[in-house]
Structure 1
Amino acid sequence: MSFFGKNIKKIRSVKGLSQQAFADIFSLKRGTLGAYEEKRSEPKIDTIIKVANYFSISIDDILTKNITVNQLLSFNEIITTDINQVVKASFTDIPFVNSLNSKMFIDDFKTTESYQSLPLIRMPVTANAPLLAFTVQDLFMVSNEEGLFPGDVVVGESTIADDLIKGDVVTVLANDTLFIRRYNTTDTGYHLLADHINIAPINIPYGTDIHFWKVSYVFLKQYPKFNSKLENQLNQLNTELKRLSLK
């Protein structure tokens, strides 16, 4: 006798499925499923294939091995009881540029367009495009004491200019320099803006060799200020309304 009946009973338990719910998925009768689980009957090969494929289990495993609960949970890419798998599923190793290795990365990337020269930093992020982590090294993206400060880490997804919109914060590699700016364009080229009012825009003509990483995540070194500009404006408005009502 195969392990099929015992394994599907365990699958049902782990997935929280009744016999009827499980049977319905594979167009089986509940009694037929019960016969499999009680080892009174063996399934047809097409049923074995359907169940194995549905739960991403090899046919050999479902027929010849006593599948453990941890194995069943690990077939789900998110839920697992193995702490090592939890860490692996929740974190991504990201190439990391800082003040010490930025020149080496720039020189290497110009010819290889790879991240192989970079160390990796593990962060709780996911993305659909290659990621690059970059340490903020100046105050150019600070306005009214808010923004990106030295030591903050931004994580950007590799992208092209056509997929960017005005105002996107991007890490940019151009003219042998890696920097962070706010994306904009003119008729003649890219118009990359700092948030700091005293820092002039960087203008780069179209046709220049340039690479963009759209910033999707930010990890702050300092404790953030949670009061928004809108909240401050509303507070000022409320104060003014109270003052007027007293007149």
Structure 2
Amino acid sequence: MSFLASNLRYLRKQKGLTQQDLADQLEVQRTMISAYEDGRSEPKLSSLLKISAILEVGIEELLEHDIENLGRKALQKRNLQILTIATDESDRENITWVGQKASAGYLNGFADPEFMEQLPQFHLPNLPRHATYRAFELAGDSMLPLIAGTIIIGSFIEHPSEIKSGRTYVLVTQSEGIVYKRVFNYLAENGKLFLVSDNEHYKPYEVRGEDVLEVWEAKAFISTDFPNPGDKKKSLSLSDLGEMLKDIQEDLRKLKP
């Protein structure tokens, strides 16, 4: 079974291209792109090679892999390969702590068992044992009332598509490094995640799904500083987040052809 039609439509929208945009790059009529996406026609090999380059996807994956429902193959392989865990003498998983100073090294060494073994490890009680956890030290004040130095305990998420909009996650990304944000999932619409800070002084921004190397859903935090109720004035309320979400959805609607 060929997935060309659905993959072409999905990847084109991920790139923010209209049918006319893609037609212009291929030097064909827009109706030809419509026919490709409806499955009424298939491109010649020369056009297929151009489409592959424009959409940054291999021909085999474009033709034979259900990208919309299963995700990109490269991301699947990366997720399967990178998760390195440490265990104690009882074969119980440890929580590995990634401090601020280790953050830069983690981006290159998260798949290296030797690097991971050098990082501090510990256990916490009362965490469900069916998940894998990692601890990340916060930098900056973008997620007030949690301050710099707070340690976020995250549960491993196998694929960014599992992210639930409005919850907080630690994302390990190629473009932004390690960040802790409130995340809104628009992978199905345009292949991107919108990252929002709880501190209103920081503007939201987006990352592409393929830039995400690891996802950890925040489950707990450790801090030596008790949050000051006064700090809540600096953070976004639920109503603020709701309005922001409406604005993001409106922007997405404008992007659709």
After TM superposition, the score normalised by the length of structure 1 is: 0.48
Q: Which structure has the larger Rg?
A: 1
Q: Which structure: greater helix fraction?
A: 2
Greater relative contact order (Cα 8 A, min sep 6): structure 1 or 2?
2
After TM superposition, the score normalised by the length of structure 2 is: 0.46
